[in-house]
Amino acid sequence: MNLTREDLEHAYRTMRTIRAFEEKINDLVNTGRMGGFMHLYIGEEAVAAGVCAHLSDSDVVASTHRGHGHCIAKGVDVTGMMAELYGRETGICKGKGGSMHIADIDRGMLGANGIVGAGISLATGAALTAKLKKTGGVAVAFFGDGASNEGQFHESLNLASIWQLPVVYVVENNGFGEFTPTEFVVPVKDIATRSASYAMRSEIADGMDFIDVYEKAGEAIELARRGEGPTLLECKTYRFHGHFTGDPMAYRSKEVSEDWIQNRDPLQLFESRVTEAGLVDAGDLRSIDGDVERMIEAAVEAAEAAPFPDPESVLTDVYVEA
Ligand SMILES: Cc1ncc(C[n+]2csc(CCOP(=O)(O)OP(=O)(O)O)c2C)c(N)n1
């Protein structure tokens, strides 16, 4: 493992920020302080953190409806994200996008996306751009197991393989598509095996283990950067909350969920591993927890104090201006 203490602390800060940001918005939605509903990424933090640790602002990421974790790991400003969820003018998309449309081109975040599978072809197009312009950049598509049944997945993998594009497809297999267990709708045990149809390299990572994701994503991203083509990286993971805030989760066993939450929490696994190996002190992790908590509280305060966008601005920043 070639991670320094600084890298490990950065990884923990990323995962803790995702967790704290989403625990806060879950609370805000449930108590009526924030509108709408959210798709929470809690439980899957090690995937976004492990992959994005290898990317810079000139690499791009295309996300999903469950996109807060990808945005935070890619460096999108948390205060701007919070204001965006509140629909305020100070939001990262001026309050007009909301949870499923957070984007920040300066950070290489092409956007969360309400259309299942759509980010896969966006990342493929971005990888083609990087290849043609010889930027040395890599594109990453995050998507779920359900999205791997979409035509966009199959068409994109085919083109990426034919053209040897610098792209990594990260399938976050969390065991469910909405309220349907993956095995009801996906006939293969490992989604990674779908890459064989496109003569593409694949890899399976334990999506609850930051280090495993970090190492496997690192190899895939390095190969893509060197012009050696795409990879389909399947990360086996689990979402601790429902499909969206308010989902009663009648479709899944409480015992199984509890087992994942108690025994496979990516933050707890990370902490045990790095503290037992003497790589990071538990006290330093607690101090990160405190920093993150204060940052999230300040973000909520700033968002609630900010104005809503001027109705006059409704036709700006859209594709077709009046
Ligand atoms: C094209 C399209 N079809 C259906 C939906 C409705 N929908 C929203 S999320 C979702 C499930 C997606 O499952 P998966 O890709 O496994 O992602 P997860 O929610 O598990 O992260 C569906 C079917 C949609 N938003 N877009």
Summarize pLDDT for 237-264 with one digit per residue, the tens.
Answer: 999 999 999 899 999 999 999 999 999 9
Per-residue pLDDT, 127: 98
145 touches ligand 1 (CB under 6 Å): yes
Question: What percent of the chain stands above pLDDT 70?
Answer: 99
pTM (two decimals): 0.98
CA 74 to ligand 1 center in whole angstroms: 22
Per-residue pLDDT, 317: 85
Question: What confidence tier does 36 reach under pLDDT thresholds 50, 70, 90?
Answer: confident
44 touches ligand 1 (CB under 6 Å): no
200 touches ligand 1 (CB under 6 Å): no
**Residues 55, 153, 261: CA angle, nearest 5 degrees:** 65
User: What is the per-residue pLDDT across 88-144, written as a single tens digit (0 to 9) for each?
Assistant: 999 999 999 999 999 999 999 999 999 999 999 999 999 999 999 999 999 999 999
CA 229 to ligand 1 center in whole angstroms: 27
| Residue 216, pLDDT above cutoff 60 | yes
| Residue 176, pLDDT above cutoff 80 | yes
| Residue 195, pLDDT above cutoff 80 | yes
70 touches ligand 1 (CB under 6 Å): no
Long-range contacts of the stretch 295-299 (C-beta < 8 A, 24+): 295/17, 295/78, 295/79, 296/17, 296/20, 296/21, 296/24, 296/78, 296/82, 298/79, 299/78, 299/79, 299/81, 299/82, 299/83
Looking at the CA of residue 118, tell me the nearest atom of ligand 1: 1
Per-residue pLDDT, 192: 98
C-alpha separations of 190 from 145, 183, 195 in Å: 10, 10, 10
Q: Which CATH class is domain 5-305?
A: alpha beta
Tell whether the torsion through CA atoms of 54, 59, 64 and 70 is positive or negative. Answer: positive
Per-residue pLDDT, 291: 98
Give the pLDDT mean for 160-173. Answer: 98
Per-residue pLDDT, 322: 56
For a substitution probing ligand 1, which of 153, 178, 182 has the most ligand atoms within 8 Å of its CB?
A: 178
Query: Which residues make beta-bridge pairs with 203?
Result: 233
Per-residue pLDDT, 244: 96
- With H, G, I as helix, E, B as strand and everything else as coil, classify residue 152: helix
Per-residue pLDDT, 109: 98
CA 116 to ligand 1 center in whole angstroms: 5
Question: What confidence tier does 194 reach under pLDDT thresholds 50, 70, 90?
Answer: very high
Neighbour tally for 53: CB within 10 Å: 19
Per-residue pLDDT, 321: 60
Looking at the CA of residue 117, tell me the nearest atom of ligand 1: 1
| Residue 179, pLDDT above cutoff 60 | yes
Strands 139-144 and 60-62, bridge-based pairing: parallel
**Residues 183, 18, 57: CA angle, nearest 5 degrees:** 100
| Residue 4, pLDDT above cutoff 60 | yes
115 touches ligand 1 (CB under 6 Å): yes
Give the pLDDT mean for 35-43. Answer: 94
H helix intervals, the chain: 5-30, 45-52, 68-73, 78-85, 118-133, 151-162, 182-185, 210-225, 254-263, 266-276, 282-305
